[in-house]
Structure 1
Amino acid sequence: LPVDGEDAPQQHDVCNDCFSGAYLQRLVNQSQSYCADGAVSDLTCFHSNVDEFDAPGDSLCLGQGAVLDVAAQKYALDCPPRALDADSSTLQLPLYRLRITGPRTVFQQAVKLETGIPGAHGDSNSNSNSNDSPPRFHLLVKRKGATNLWETLLEILSASMTLDVLRNAHDPSNATLPLFPPIAAADTQTVILDDHADGPYFDLWRLFSPHPPVRFKALLASPASSHAPKTNIILPLAGAGNPLWENDWVDRPNCTLSPTLRAFSRRILTHHHIPPRPAPPAATGPLTLTLLTRRHTRRLLNHTALLAALAPALRPHLPALKIQTLDPAALSFPDQLRRI
């Protein structure tokens, strides 16, 4: 799976279940289709349950053959729900993550299931090679906010893993093709459902597509939307349900390595044209100690006095030590990556 060829490190099984390709593979293996036979559209969801703390777990969904209903301000799927087997572990649409973001919230705000959807144009599975053709994959994103770096990165990490899963899941109509083929990135549009400001990290939403993100309200207001072709909608994993976030409060073993996180880190650096970091210097070589100073919230009290006391205490042991302070708020995010 897409962890850049890395094998899972030798750690506790729970660590590999949460932070390696095993987490993605579990999602790939646990898919469920929700449309009745004969439906024009299709809705496929993937599920994972790493532990019992936050059952029933994580979900992501792909709706194929959606039409943007401008009047209803929702994407419509011709998908009368099918009756699932009694033995199925999921008896209803698994959009149940009760948070202000995630597939349940996205579904309630922007998607509806119908029987028959008039006004559909074109085929959502046909290649749109023309520069004038609208993207045929819409990644529907509802952010928790715009200024919290931790929350933003986890939302983008969850979206990244969502596309990884779809790249490795086979299309039921053609088992030789993935649901999200390699060429699909150029045919993808990130659609922002919330009304938050762009914020300092908004450019990261271009990680998945050369097209700039578009606001859902702007999409609805566009005259072209009333006669747009069918599209495929992606409801990504919830950022707040990311295993990395849950690891803050779940009692798990000490997990020290994450192939999925390292792959995501490399993708971020590549997006900003930043080369990989060199190997850490030898213990006897030059060493730079950077103190991050915050001006508004979560400030370190008396940091000037602490820094003044730190230098004479450390330099006898590290004569080549360089100590500096840095205010992250004064730098753009790419510059933070280069400096810190």
Structure 2
Amino acid sequence: MLVNVRLQPYRLVVFLGVFILVTIALYGLSGRSWLISPAGAEYDRTAGLSGAVSHDGSNTELLEADQFAWPFEYSTVSNQSLFCEERFGLGYLDNFSQRSAEYCTAESASRMTCFSSITETKTRRKDAFCIAGPATFDLDQHKFVLDCSLRDLIPDELNSGLPRFINLPGYWYSTGPKYIFSTAVSFATMQGATPSSTIQASPVTIVLKREDEYKNIWHALLEIFATFMTLDILRMAHNPATKAPFIQPSDFSNTQVLLLDHLPDGPYSELWHLFAQKPILRLSDITSSFPLEPGNIIVPLAGGGNPFWQGDWNLLDCTDSPLLRAFSRRVLSYYQIHDPPKQPDDPLVITYIDRTTKRRLVDQARLLDALRLRHPTIQLNVVDFAQLPFAQQLAVDRSTDILVGVHGAGLTHGMFLPRGSALVEILPFGLKHKGFLNMAAMLGHAHFSAESVDDRTQTSARGDWQADDVYIPQGAFLELVEQAIRKKMES
């Protein structure tokens, strides 16, 4: 009996040691990452993982989950629902990276791999992007030329959601793969050419056409954001022929953006250098004196295909977005924006977005004076972001506690506020837009909104919410902003 008593502590230690080792082994098994939904169901990266598709349409060896490693900029822990993860989280990247096919025949000297994802469940819309090469640039055609004979996709590929080449998507403003391939890429079969087994030649040219709204921060950033996600997916997905990623960060130094549009650079064009360190090109820049070196081309996900365009009119239950947080961090890091030091007695900073052309706030000066009078200790800044360089706009964002404005693209600055800030949105009469509310929730911000009280403020010939000024009574305005002030004071 004495022996048993003496052995019990020893057995307890052994039991605890084994339990800890087993737990560690289970969490580290195969290097896989898991996302836990609120209901406890696991988001399994391998669920539905299909075999990579070779150039002839046959399935090759199944790629292990850890071959689709997320870029390090993304956090790998979330408590989102499956819908939120697959629309705004890491599941979005996973789904794209695991659904691809080769679109050129085996005899072709070039290769073209296109990736696709169904991100709009009601209409079954298929978003897509492609990487192809080697590609040469024909000065006579003013087009890229791929030595590629297009193949028909097999039923398994079509059933998985991959689009036929003729069904690659196009978006508003004539953007997206459909329009890029029809206007800037030619397919030819060259006799005696040797088939290529890889899509990893240098340099890399990202070929795109921007939307006409190049000055609109929401439109412009979602285009750049979409290209960022394209490259992240190409960093995750492995070429079946080489077992190596299609793109690696080391390629960025030899990557350039070719703009097919004729628009000016715009206030946000510098952000293309986040991932393309060579100078931005236009078609007119490519001449016999300055030819384009053969290499790979990427036709990226268009801005109109960015999932953050979806759900604008519905209230979502998504309270986190690794995609959005990673993009925000990258932009702030690129401009080397650092948070100003905070002291306990610092005043609360409210930034009011000053709209000067349309959708202005009626009696704006009077309302802001009333707010200052009611709260003399706050620091109220009235900012016309359009008059500031983008880096300075970001610095304003990071010093802001509460961002206030009439509904519009200026509220995109909520992307860059410190976590735990507040957005105050004044909506035009009858507008039920939920986009900035959903964005705020995904970034950990509070959101407060109110509609203008009537539609008697028509100030444009069109008479619509996009152009008309908005009116809100002084009492309602003060109460709206004070909700945000109370929330910040409590935190």
Q: What TM-score do you get using the length of structure 1 for normalisation?
A: 0.87
Shift of 1:161: 0.3
Residue aligning to 1:309: 370
- Aligned: 1:248 with 2:324: no
Residue aligning to 2:303: 239
Letter aligned with residue 302 of structure 1: D
Tell me how many residue pairs correspond in the alignment: 321
- Aligned: 1:185 with 2:185: no
Cα distance in 1 for partners of 2:326, 2:128 equals 21
Shift of 1:162: 0.4
- Check whether the contact 1:2–1:21 (CA below 8 A) recurs between aligned residues: no
Residue aligning to 1:259: 322
Uncovered stretches (5+) of structure 1, i.e. residues with no partner: 128-134
Cα distance in 1 for partners of 2:191, 2:168 equals 22
Residue aligning to 1:17: 86
Deviations 1:258-278 (A, max 9, x none): 111111111111111212x47
- Check whether the contact 2:111–2:148 (CA below 8 A) recurs between aligned residues: yes
Cα distance in 1 for partners of 2:118, 2:277 equals 33
Map 1:4-153 → 2, pairs under 5 A:
4-89=73-158, 90=162, 92-93=164-165, 94-99=167-172, 100-116=174-190, 136-145=203-212, 146-153=214-221
- Aligned: 1:331 with 2:388: yes
Cα distance in 2 for partners of 1:84, 1:61 equals 15
- Aligned: 1:270 with 2:333: yes
Match of 2:337, SS? coil
- Check whether the contact 1:124–1:231 (CA below 8 A) recurs between aligned residues: no
Shift of 1:119: 11
- Aligned: 1:173 with 2:241: yes
Cα distance in 2 for partners of 1:222, 1:302 equals 59
Deviations 1:42-68 (A, max 9, x none): 110000112323433210100111111
Tell me how large the CA RMSD over aligned residues is: 2.6
Cα distance in 1 for partners of 2:246, 2:389 equals 35
Shift of 1:118: 9.6
Shift of 1:254: 2.7
Aligned partner (choices 155, 163, 167) of residue 223 of structure 2? 155
Aligned partner (choices 265, 269, 289) of residue 223 of structure 1? 289
Cα distance in 2 for partners of 1:119, 1:217 equals 29
Deviations 1:210-248 (A, max 9, x none): 2121112212x34242xx542100000010111111221
Letter aligned with residue 112 of structure 1: S
Cα distance in 1 for partners of 2:216, 2:191 equals 39
Letter aligned with residue 327 of structure 1: D
Match of 1:153, SS? helix
Q: What TM-score do you get using the length of structure 2 for normalisation?
A: 0.61
Larger relative CO (CA 8 A, sep 6+): 1 or 2?
A: 1
Deviations 1:13-61 (A, max 9, x none): 2111111111011110000111111210011000011232343321010
Shift of 1:87: 3.1
- Check whether the contact 1:3–1:260 (CA below 8 A) recurs between aligned residues: no
Residue aligning to 2:355: 294
Deviations 1:187-228 (A, max 9, x none): 101111100111111111111122121112212x34242xx5
Cα distance in 2 for partners of 1:232, 1:113 equals 14
Uncovered stretches (5+) of structure 2, i.e. residues with no partner: 1-69, 398-491
Cα distance in 1 for partners of 2:263, 2:197 equals 32
Letter aligned with residue 150 of structure 1: W
Cα distance in 1 for partners of 2:284, 2:83 equals 41
Deviations 1:151-186 (A, max 9, x none): 0000000000000011111123211x2111231101
Letter aligned with residue 216 of structure 1: L
Match of 1:290, SS? strand
Residue aligning to 1:132: none
Match of 2:372, SS? helix
- Check whether the contact 1:67–1:117 (CA below 8 A) recurs between aligned residues: no
Shift of 1:91: 5.7
Deviations 1:309-334 (A, max 9, x none): 1123345xxxx322221111221111
- Check whether the contact 1:48–1:57 (CA below 8 A) recurs between aligned residues: yes
Residue aligning to 1:202: 269
Cα distance in 1 for partners of 2:283, 2:112 equals 21
Cα distance in 2 for partners of 1:218, 1:44 equals 27
Cα distance in 2 for partners of 1:265, 1:296 equals 28
Q: Give the direction of change, closer, same or farther, for the CA distance of 1:281–1:96 in structure 2 (3 Å limit).
A: farther
- Check whether the contact 2:96–2:117 (CA below 8 A) recurs between aligned residues: yes
Letter aligned with residue 249 of structure 2: P
Match of 1:294, SS? coil
User: Greater CA deviation, 208-217 or 94-103?
Assistant: 94-103
Larger radius of gyration: 2
Q: Percent identity?
A: 35
